[in-house]
Structure 1
Amino acid sequence: MAVSFVLFFVSVLVLSGRVVSEPVQDKQALLDFIRPLPHAKRVQWNASVSACDWVGVICDANRSFVFSVRLPGVGLVGTIPPNTLGRLGQLRVLSLRANRLFGEIPSDFSNLTLLRSLYLQSNKFSGGFPESVTRLLRLNRLDLSSNNFLGPIPFAVNNLTQLTGLFLENNNFSGNLPSISLVNLRDFNVSNNNINGSIPDSLAKFPPSAFTGNLNLCGRPLRSCNPFSPSPAPSPSLTPPPATRGKKSHRLSTGVIIAIAVGSAIVALLLLLFLILCLRRRRRQPSKQQKPPVVPRAVAAEEGTSSSKDDITGGSAAEAERNRLVFFQGGVYSFDLEDLLRASAEVLGKGSVGTSYKAVLEEGTSVVVKRLKDVVVTKREFEMHMEILGKINHENVVPLRAYYYSKDEKLLVYDFMRDGSLSALLHGSRGSGRTPLDWDNRMRIALTVARGLAHLHIAGKVVHGNIKSSNVLLKPDHGACISDFGLNPLFGNTTPPNRVAGYRAPEVLETRKVTFKSDVYSFGVLLLELLTGKAPNQASLGEEGIDLPRWVQSVVREEWTAEVFDVELMRYHDIEDEMVQLLQIAMACVSTVPDQRPAMQEVVSMIEGINRGETDEGLRQSSDDPSKGSDGHTPPTESRTPVTP
């Protein structure tokens, strides 16, 4: 007994230590850094809040030190105060890109010995190549591009043996390129500087675009250096050349001198005219080319398009401001469009309104980027609708974090849900080794989806328009969130024709208009999917072309109700009454007459009213206003005991 008490006491101490853990020294260093610098309002670093919860700051799992600081494009103005960021001894990622910072990089940056990624591009930093950076031996990515650095690029760059990317373009670096021999270096750029001489053989593997804009730079992959350049003129000698010894020197006549001068002037004028024509032709060519759309790197590779920094900025600061990534207040992310373009991505799914990608940003954060297609509304209408969707905040609705609008691209950014979708969990491989989705968790999913949908209808005044199991994303406790909501108005007055037919209400098939009542119908189909384990358009329903509601009705009409339910649910005791009650709710939702369907807040009340066991008391909390959701996360519960075979 005493031993158990000691173990319990120690556990409580450990857990409480985790909760109150705070990187006090790192927090003070960040406050000392931000305090003298003007910055955007969204960077509200409150000293009374843990630094691990600040915008742009990520801590380690134990919240004991600051792991990453990312503040791109937050309006920072001024010089980096010394003895501030250099005190973050455990920092791995530092991004201050796209601000208005100037001056030299503090020498105490050399203290950031664990730093792996340093992004300082698109500022106004000056001075020579920062010596402190050459001591950061664990650096993987270094971006100093688009600043005012000058002087030579030091040979000490070779100290950075872990470097995979070095970006120094658009500065004023001069002198010869050092021989940089870094075996891991995959990305390299020194274009648009004042570098001269020949390109070292160790760097010749990179494309010409990595070196262009340096007028006196030559060698592979650029033009070859000319080995026959004229030698310096010899020193004047008192001894006349042999051919002229003993002869009188003859001076050129005045007429010959004038003729030579006139001829030289004409040749120079012709060369000047030729150069002007060439420059004009080069300026005209880009305007004739249509810029490729802005797409993430992996998306561009998949679809055969390209993306570049010019595509993002549109070639001017004004256009970059118009086509920026717009975040909503209270967001948890701090990245910009360029981060998305550099992110690695994988396709999650292709739906009726666009394709969804999982994008993994440089520091490891994962988000979902939805690339919309066939949007017909104007930019103003798009932005107004996004403002409505961005204000929706509920624990059972996946929040819209940001959006991007340009003529060619419309992107939405959501949280990435690691536990996947209900569709994958319910219809995944049913072979040996599969863990069935038990009844308690199906009830939890049904209730949390209903709460999220009721919140959309009541508080958000938004029709979801695309309820289906692949748009129900799971939380670790098997609660659920709904995604892909409220997008129908972007495509005109009709729904896209290729929505999954099994979920659509009968009237939507005719009018192509979604309503609150058609959402209720789709939710009813989702309940039947949970009860039967069958997909709405599954061929095994027995009759070609029959949908799930009609199949269930036909089975119930023949009084074979037990045949409706998923065979995986037959393993559990004492759930028959609850399954029948939920089936009745589902059948009410899929009534063919819209006015006979209950409203979503009524559906929430009916599901909460199902007679549940004491172990699921958390599911039966009061819901006078279901649009507000629950006060906290639904606690996990033990599953019903399966029947022993």
Structure 2
Amino acid sequence: MRGSKLFLFLEGLICIAILPRLFTGCVGGELSESESFFKFISAVDSQNVLRIGWNGNLPHPCSYNLKGIKCNLHATNIVGIRLENMNLSGIIDAESLCKLRHLRVVSLAKNLIQGRIPNSISNCRRLTYLNLSSNLLSGAVPLALTKLKHLKTLDISNNHFAGTSPDNFKQEIKYFDKYVVETSSSEINRASTVEARGLEDTQPPSVHNMSEHGEKRHWFRNWMTIIPLAAGIGLVVLIAYCMGKKSAQIARDREILKALQDSPSKSPPRVMDIEEVRPEVRRSELVFFVNENEKFKLDDLLEATADLRSQTICSSLFMVRLKNSAVYAVKRLKKLQVSMDEFSQTMRQIGNLKHPNILPLVCYNSTNEEKLLVYKYQSNGSLLSLLEAYIEGKRDFPWKLRLSIATGIAKGLDFIYQKSNEEKTIPHGNLKLSNILLNENEDPLISECGYSKFLDPKKTCLFSSNGYTAPEKTVSEQGDVFSFGVILLELLTGKTVEKTGIDLPKWVKAMVREEWTGEVFDKEVAKAGRQWAFPLLNVALKCVSNSPDDRPTMAEVLERIEEVVNGNDERDRDHSNSSFSSMESIPHDSCLLHTVIQENWDTPRSSY
């Protein structure tokens, strides 16, 4: 027994001695990529046009959203740098650039970058796309570019390279899928009148340090770093294996002893009894809800280029493009206090929600650390972006489209609550303009269904948009009805809650109370649907009642909205045969619009 304790004690000491060194190595690796990135930026942007400074304490560049910088799905490595037409006037620090080991795309076109293309560019071995066109680069075209074996696209045209390209270079680059070296032979041979004098021999500061011995010893330094790290990891794995084996043996011995004490006359415990104390091993896979031909592997997803679109305390949203050019939206959820079984059961229920106005869940992945939800990417954006574009005068947002979108959202929500009597309904819980996406026909799609039930209602990540949240702050049908009422008010008034922070229900009620109801409506609504906007306003005000008991169900809301839609269609048919003078009378009715709308289901137009 003492020997076992001594053995475990010695193992613990070894772990304590080894782990700090390994941890330092890991952190150092991340800081090394950060340092290399910011060093490259400081060289290429010598005038600090990008306003990206670094004092040695900034986190990894992927931890916050930098324009033109793309990272992988886990936001751990930079995979793309696109800084085109940014007025960058520095030089290319290829040594720092090539330390970004996962970098595949670099585009610095249409800038004022000077100096040579360093030979150390050959160390960027994973590059598949390089565009340095339309800059002030000078010197000879470097043969080092031919060593980039994975490079498919190269464009270094419209620069000031001296002489002609080496014959070896021309022989090598013909294997690229696409390349543009010079715009014409005359341009590359003539002396440029705008060439920057004295810059031809300019190199990044660290490139001179690499001359002669630097490149020869580069591989040696790498191996001197990798070998101790690999040895340390191997030792930890061996120790963990030994400790796990020892722990399992101790647990097995205790189980057998306990069974013998409980029943000394019986046989030793069954094998199943012993195995039950072992930890359960789970394999993480993608679970799909689409046809077989649309499926892909988890590795395909993790290796894809990911563009971070938004980030909160609880989640991150990425636009991910697979190698087959398929584009998906991936929601990454963190810190969910839920078992894998409960989460999987909920996601299967959500995945089976098939409705034209609900964004279908393509697949999900669940581990103890994080959850991934995958949807088809909608290029038309969200209802929020549509309304903002209208407010900025960039596009139209007519009454009929607003009415169609409101109807579609109501149908989708009604479907969620009427889907099945056998399964427990899962409220949405986070309904807002940015969660209503638009397909290619501008039909609304309710996104992010289901997972709000796993978020803590007391945390800001669930109720981050307080303008949509019911006073009781519960995830329920009545809470969703309140949020839908706010969306309806946004469509009628042309005001956005997410960006302005306005308490829209309070503002509308104040306008109604002061008998200025007609001033509530947006100009498009007032112009095309005056008398039909009032019953819709009644619906919205009923939905945003302070008491959940006073709010209608989604079925009742949908029924009333469909009445408005049918009435609007009948009006259009009637007016198509009416005279212009009869249509002219409608604006004069607007003097009657300044009337208090009671919070009931009676439409105000009935009193006019």
**When the two structures are superposed, what TM-score results if normalisation uses the length of structure 1?**
0.46
Q: Which structure has more RCO (C-alpha within 8 Å, separation ≥ 6)?
A: 2
Please tell me whether Structure 1 or Structure 2 has the larger radius of gyration of its CA atoms.
1
**When the two structures are superposed, what TM-score results if normalisation uses the length of structure 2?**
0.48
The structure where helix makes up a greater share of residues is 2
